[in-house]
Chains A and B, each alone.
Chain A
Amino acid sequence: MSFHYYPGCTLKTKAKDLDECARKSAEALGVPLIEWEEWQCCGTVYPQAQDEIATRLAAIRALDEARRNGSDLLTICSACHHVMKRINRDMQTNEDIRTKANNYLALDTPYTGQTRVVHYLEMLRDTVGFDELRKRVLYPLTGRRIGAYYGCMLLRPSKEMQFDDPENPSIMEDFLEAIGAEPVRYPYRNECCGGYVALEEAALVGELCGKVLDSARQKGAEALITACPLCRYNLRKNGSKQDMPVYYFSELLAEALGVNRTNTEPVRLEK
């Protein structure tokens, strides 16, 4: 089963690691990711107003392309996933948006949300299976205490995202366990990092990230993982002072599978 892979803007620029590790790992796991060359930015924020049609179109094009190929659309970046999932749901359930968007796009067959939007982590869980992943791990991250940072976009609103329990999620912890690490559950793992007000409300973002990092440290985490470039940026910017490395989950996956960029001896993450 192959996936229609939608990387999104940041994964091709500032978050190349996230993208590259994810693709290489998928290859190693035998899951073909086929990237549509003509993808465009998803819009990064989900347009919450009912009358915003144009801002939904880029996402719908990508979703429709996946439908044409008859495959599920796979995303990694939390923001892309959030936008794709919710707009897809709009196309399934909101008749007004569906009609207007289809009128704009004038597709041969109207798009009505037929595509399934899958996050990379869901692919690991449901397509590969965490048990299978555990078997494929060559370099388990044994003894490493790692906290998962979910942030907002993957989980909320849970009725639409249907990703995990919004208040007590576990998919990243299960992932960490599968690659041999010791997951650290901490209460602020689903609280906001400050998102895009980072530029003008540095103090607020500092405060919010500080709380997340502090909470993780209290529970014994030595590093964090995330799926979102923005979260990682915010946490790193504020966390560097706090001596808490923040990785993309795919970096650790690549690490555990031994598919790092250098094809020599795998670089073990420093303890």
Chain B
Amino acid sequence: MPMSTESQVQANAPAKAPTNAPANAPANTLINTPGNEEKDGKAFRPLIVSFCCNWCSYAGADLAGSSRLTYPADVKIIRVPCSCRINPLFILRAFQRGADGVIVNGCHPGDCHYSTGNFYTRRRMALLFSMLDFLGIEKERTRVEWVSAAEGARFASVMREFVEQIRRLGENKKLGDIRCKE
């Protein structure tokens, strides 16, 4: 992969919203961004870190597995006892080391195994993501999802969706550590 240099960053900077978009295009159509072009003849495979709380989301991921519901191998799961264990540092660390997307999964608010953990997660992540957005880092690279132990199918579909979203965004350059890129 090429070095992420200043000029690279600019070269790959997404163009401003296209002005020639049809007026009646549905509002939620994602604006196509560069980055998903083929590299070395291979499609871009993002690296995605998925933090899962032990009680709901990890179990949901297990259920996705035992139900044989597929999602891309790009997703790698890290188990934590509760989503409130996820330090913003871990998320930034993942980006630093080359992750292209980070998704935080917890129990549905109100269903936390520890009663209140995910309520704190929700506040922390809202503020963290807002700050990353303020720094100009694509907010689509981060996500919080509430996935219960019963929602194996949803876990798989959320992962598929998120991977697709990151694929469209392309490689994470803004928050990558140059030392980690070959």
A contact residues vs B (CB 8 Å cutoff): 95, 98-99, 102-103, 106, 110
Tell me the bound Cα distance from A106 to B23 in angstroms.
9
Q: For A95, list chain B residues within 8 Å (CB).
A: 26
**How far, in whole Å, are A99 and B26 apart by their CA atoms in the complex?**
7
Taken together as a complex, chains A and B put the C-alpha atoms of A102 and B24 apart, in Å, by: 7
Binding site for A on B (CB under 8 A): 23-26
**CB proximity of B2 to chain A, nearest CB, Å:** 38
Q: Chain A contacts of B26 at CB under 8 A?
A: 95, 98-99
A to B CB contacts below 8 Å, 10 in the list: A95-B26, A98-B26, A99-B24, A99-B25, A99-B26, A102-B24, A103-B24, A106-B24, A110-B23, A110-B24
For residue B22, which residue of chain A has the nearest CB? A103
What secondary structure prevails in chain B residues at the interface with A? loop
Closest CB in chain B relative to A106 CB, distance in Å:
8
> Nearest B residue to A102 by beta-carbon distance?
B24
What's the nearest-Cβ distance from chain A to residue B26, in Å? 6
A95 to B29, CA, bound (A): 11
Q: How many A-B Cβ pairs are below 8 Å?
A: 10
Q: Give the nearest-CB partner of B23 in chain A.
A: A110
Give the complex CA separation of A164 and B25 in angstroms. Answer: 35
Q: Which of B23, B24, B25 has the most CB of A within 10 A?
A: B24
**How far in angstroms is the closest Cβ of chain A from B113?**
35
Give Cα A99–Cα B28 distance, bound, in whole angstroms: 12
Chain A residues with Cβ below 8 Å from B23 are 110
Report the minimal beta-carbon distance from B69 to chain A, rounded to whole angstroms: 24
Residue in B closest to A105 when the chains form the complex, CB atoms: B24
Give the Cβ gap from A60 to chain B, nearest Cβ, in Å.
Answer: 13
Name A111's closest neighbour in chain B (CB-CB). B24
A residues near B24, Cβ cutoff 8 Å: 99, 102-103, 106, 110
In the assembled complex, the Cα of A95 lies from the Cα of B24 at a distance in Å of: 12
Contacts of A110 in B (CB 8 A): 23-24
Residues in chain A near residue B25, CB distance under 8 A: 99
**A103 CA / B25 CA spacing, docked (Å):** 9
* Smallest beta-carbon distance A184→chain B, Å: 48
5 closest A-B pairs by CB: A102-B24, A110-B24, A99-B26, A95-B26, A103-B24
In the bound complex, CA of A95 to CA of B26 (Å): 8
Measured CB to CB, the nearest residue on chain A to B25 is A99
Point out the residues of chain B lying under 8 angstroms from A98, CB to CB: 26
Q: Roughly how many angstroms separate A49 CA and B26 CA in the complex, as a whole number?
A: 21
A103 to B23, CA, bound (A): 10
Distance of A140 from chain B, by nearest CB (Å): 52
A110 to B22, CA, bound (A): 11
Report B22 CB to chain A, min CB distance, Å. Answer: 8
| Minimum Cβ distance to chain A for residue B100 (Å) | 28
Q: How far is the CA of A135 from the CA of B92 in the complex (A)?
A: 69
Query: Can you add 4 more A-B contacts, CB < 8 Å, to A102-B24, A110-B24?
Result: A98-B26, A99-B26, A103-B24, A110-B23
Distance in Å: Cβ of A77 to nearest Cβ of chain B: 31
Question: Across the two chains, which residue of chain B brings its CB closest to A95?
Answer: B26
For the complex, give the distance between the alpha carbons of A156 and B6 in Å.
62
Which residue of B has the minimal Cβ distance to A101?
Answer: B24
Which B residue sits closest to A99, measured CB to CB?
A: B26
Chain B proximity of A99: nearest CB distance (Å): 6
The CA of A102 and the CA of B27, in the complex, are separated in Å by 13
A106 to B25: give the CA distance in the assembly, Å: 12
How far is A102 from B26 in the complex, measured between Cα atoms in Å? Answer: 10
Chain B residues with CB below 8 A from A102, complex form = 24
Closest B residue to A110 by CB, please name it. B24
Bound form: Cα–Cα A266–B124 in Å: 72
Q: How far is the CA of A98 from the CA of B25 in the complex (A)?
A: 10
In the assembled complex, how far is the CB of residue B55 from the closest CB belonging to chain A, in whole angstroms?
Answer: 34
